[in-house]
Amino acid sequence: MEFTTKAGSPERIAAGCVAVGVFEQRKLTPAAESLDRAARGHLRDVLKRGDMDGRAGATRVLYDVPHLRCERVLLVGLGRESEFGAKQYRDALRTAVTAVADTGARDAHLCLPELHVAGRDLEWKLRHAAIVAADALYRFEETKSKKSPARKLKSITFATPARSAAADRGLAQGRAIAAGMAVARDLGNLPANICTPAYLAAQARQLAREWRLRASVLGTRDMQRLGMGALLAVAKGSRQPPKLIVLRYDGAGRGVKPVVLVGKGITFDTGGISLKPAAEMDEMKFDMCGAASVLGTLRAVAEMKLACNVVGIVPASENMPGGAATKPGDVVTTMSGQTVEILNTDAEGRLVLCDALSYAERFKPQAVVDIATLTGACVIALGNVATGLFSNRDTLAEELLESGADAWDRAWRLPLWDDYQEQLKSPFADVANIGGRPAGSVTAACFLSRFAEAYEWAHLDIAGTAWVSGKNKGATGRPVPLLATFLIGRAAK
């Protein structure tokens, strides 16, 4: 889909569809007002008949509106004007794009960015317009033999009050972030028989070629040499060799320390010998969504040409039961030298991450953020709305929360207090890999914190936000918007 901006009023637009908003109680927005005037009151006549009251989510397509050059007018309900904010703006965009794509229009002119959204500027409105539109139009059909017919809709123009560099910048950022989300969604949606650790490595190399990034991939032997006993312990039960993928973007001078993103890349999590129950186990193909978000974010950052350095690290492995698999009670030595008693082989995410976090030290990072579908407990705590956030620095935590709020890809902070470390005590090793039922997400983060003492670090638990279950099952592309927004901020510093 092509996205552009266009300044000026909508009444002379000759597009296949012009979309304008209507607030509750049939109040026309300025763009709708202009169309109505040009059409000599036709819109108001329609509203009077009671077919569109402006309720949020309502749409109405009008054909052959007199004196207008467009083929269709789409009325989009916006709800109450007094309640119109970021969420309502994004919902209205999604509704409009979905409704337009359902018509035969080949191009659309959306007037929604003219609306006032409290606390948000034009750049924000355009950024979100591109992200929401692309997100709404996303389809995953790589694994279907019959593809749905190509969309008639080829381009969307977003109306702006005047020509504006900020609007164009916002749109460009939105395009890049949307493309990064699509990368993350595609990788997440692919089944685990296709998306293996080797496949992820090949995709990283492909991204490197397309976006002038640098990719390198460590194999089993390299991991042995580095002493990554925890990562190797997870991979032992699988026939698929593990990979440690490093993807680098250099957008600032060599003296600028990089931000390191570490993404959990378990391409399938059976639980290992601590086998998971059968129900919904297919969803454990999404256990590499942290990795996918790292690759997607690097693509977005490269497209935006941000003035920062970013290193993406993906420890990729399957977690399988097998004759050689790690057993409960096994003790392994991590790259950091700390020993871990693996009491539950299903707590494998923290095992692959801990060695990746130690590996991150060599990049002398300004900050490290890991992203992981780490705990079912996080889904219980925060549901599918907020990502769990943990950090060893308040400033970094605030910055990430702020980025998530701006990107409408929100996180919520949970504590990382020392008091919880008690639960990880082991009689046989320096630390156990599980901390019991209470505060499962916190003890998982506490485990990771022991390997992240050398730098400013944050951990995002995306177990509830990386994909949706049910009839619309699929990867969401989160938290690419949060991460990209965070890096836009870091690049500006």
Interacting partner of 135 out of ligand BES, Mn ion, Zn ion, none (Cβ under 5 to 8 A depending on kind): none
Interacting partner of 375 out of ligand BES, Zn ion, Mn ion, none (Cβ under 5 to 8 A depending on kind): ligand BES
> Minimal distance in Å, beta carbon 202 to Zn ion?
22
Q: Between residues 287 and 330, which has the closer beta carbon with respect to ligand BES? A: 287
Distance from C-alpha of 289 to C-alpha of 186, rounded to nearest angstrom:
10
Active site residue 437: no
Burial of residue 493 (number of CB atoms within 10 Å: 0-12, 13-18, 19+) = exposed
Task: Work out whether 269 is an interface residue with Zn ion (CB under 5 A).
Answer: yes
346-385 positions binding Mn ion, by CB under 5 A: 346, 348
Interacting partner of 476 out of ligand BES, Mn ion, Zn ion, none (Cβ under 5 to 8 A depending on kind): none
Task: Work out whether 406 is an interface residue with Mn ion (CB under 5 A).
Answer: no
Token look-up 């709020």 returns 405
Distance from C-alpha of 422 to C-alpha of 138, rounded to nearest angstrom:
45
- Closest by CA to 389, choosing from 372, 365, 406, is 372
* Contacts to ligand BES by CB under 6 A: 269, 287, 344, 346-349, 373-377, 379, 434, 440, 463
Count of residues interacting with Mn ion (CB under 5 A):
3
DSSP sequence for 376-431? HHHHHHHTTT-EEEEES-HHHHHHHHHHHHHTT--EEE----GGGGGGG--SSSSE
Interacting partner of 366 out of Zn ion, Mn ion, ligand BES, none (Cβ under 5 to 8 A depending on kind): none
- Closest by CA to 308, choosing from 316, 317, 298, 318, is 298
Distance from C-alpha of 492 to C-alpha of 160, rounded to nearest angstrom:
25
Pick one of 113, 296, 349, 365: the residue that binds Zn ion (CB under 5 A). Answer: 349
Catalytic residue among 37, 55, 276, 413: 276
Interacting partner of 377 out of ligand BES, Zn ion, Mn ion, none (Cβ under 5 to 8 A depending on kind): ligand BES
> Minimal distance in Å, beta carbon 431 to ligand BES?
13
Active site residue 127: no
**β pairing state of 259-263 and 309-319:** parallel
Catalytic residue among 90, 236, 264, 350: 350
Cα angle vertex 150, ends 147, 152, to 5°? 155
Pick one of 107, 123, 287, 406: the residue that binds Zn ion (CB under 5 A). Answer: 287
The answer to whether residues 322 and 234 touch, using CB atoms and an 8 Å cutoff, is no
Task: Work out whether 269 is an interface residue with Mn ion (CB under 5 A).
Answer: yes
| Cα torsion through 292, 296, 302, 306, rounded to 10 | -100
Distance from C-alpha of 125 to C-alpha of 310, rounded to nearest angstrom:
26
> Minimal distance in Å, beta carbon 262 to Zn ion?
15
- Name the residues annotated as catalytic: 276, 350
Binding site for Mn ion (CB under 5 A): 269, 346, 348
Rule CB under 5 A: which residues touch Zn ion? 266, 269, 287, 349
